[in-house]
């Protein structure tokens, strides 16, 4: 037995199949149009130049921990050194690895070194837009004309 679909039913079925296919593929896509989806992986401590500027020779371990956070790596064979690595592997794009290390002598901070660190936290915008706001010249001119 063969069922014949009317032209209207055929268009409806074709539209339904196309809609399901489009919705199914939309779930796999991203702004990079990458297939399959690859999640961004972030590991370690995010340290800023502002935090580094607060470090001073002679600080205790607790003071350093308060400023930089708990170190990701504390080696039992190098107890006088704390390492703060940061690794970011975006789903698509170049990997980023930053390292920062602090050294202690008798539980006081003696020195620190590492890669160049960012000047902001990841949730902060790079540009606040404040510098692009210009005063309205017409409002200023109107205020100057008033006696």
41-60 pLDDT per residue, tens? 888 888 888 999 999 999 99
Between 104 and 44, where is the model more confident? 104
pLDDT 10s digits, 88-101: 888 777 888 899 99
117, 98 contact by CB (below 8 A): yes
pLDDT tens per residue across span 115-134: 888 887 777 666 555 555 55
Asked whether the predicted pLDDT for residue 105 surpasses 90, the reply is yes
**Pairing of the two strands 41-44 and 81-83:** unpaired
HSE (side-chain half, CA atoms, 13 Å) at 105: 5
Element (H, E) at 85: none
94, 47, 104, 41: which is closest to 74 by C-alpha?
Answer: 104
pTM for this predicted structure = 0.59
pLDDT class of 3 with cuts at 50, 70, 90 = low
Cα separation, 43 vs 96, whole angstroms: 11
Coil, strand or helix at 98: strand
């Amino acid at each position: 037995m063969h069922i014949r679909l009317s032209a209207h039913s055929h268009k409806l079925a074709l539209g339904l199949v196309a809609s399901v296919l489009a919705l199914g593929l939309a779930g796999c896509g991203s702004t990079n149009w990458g297939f399959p989806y690859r999640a961004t992986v972030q590991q370690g401590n995010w340290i800023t130049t502002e935090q580094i500027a607060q470090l001073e020779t002679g600080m205790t371990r607790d003071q350093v921990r308060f400023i930089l956070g708990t170190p990701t790596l504390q080696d039992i064979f190098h107890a006088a050194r704390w390492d703060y690595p940061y690794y970011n592997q975006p789903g698509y794009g170049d990997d980023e690895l930053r390292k920062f290390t602090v050294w202690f002598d008798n539980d006081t901070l003696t020195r620190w070194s590492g890669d160049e660190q960012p000047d902001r936290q990841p949730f902060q915008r790079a540009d606040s837009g404040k510098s692009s706001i210009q005063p309205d010249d017409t409002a200023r001119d109107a205020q100057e004309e008033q006696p």
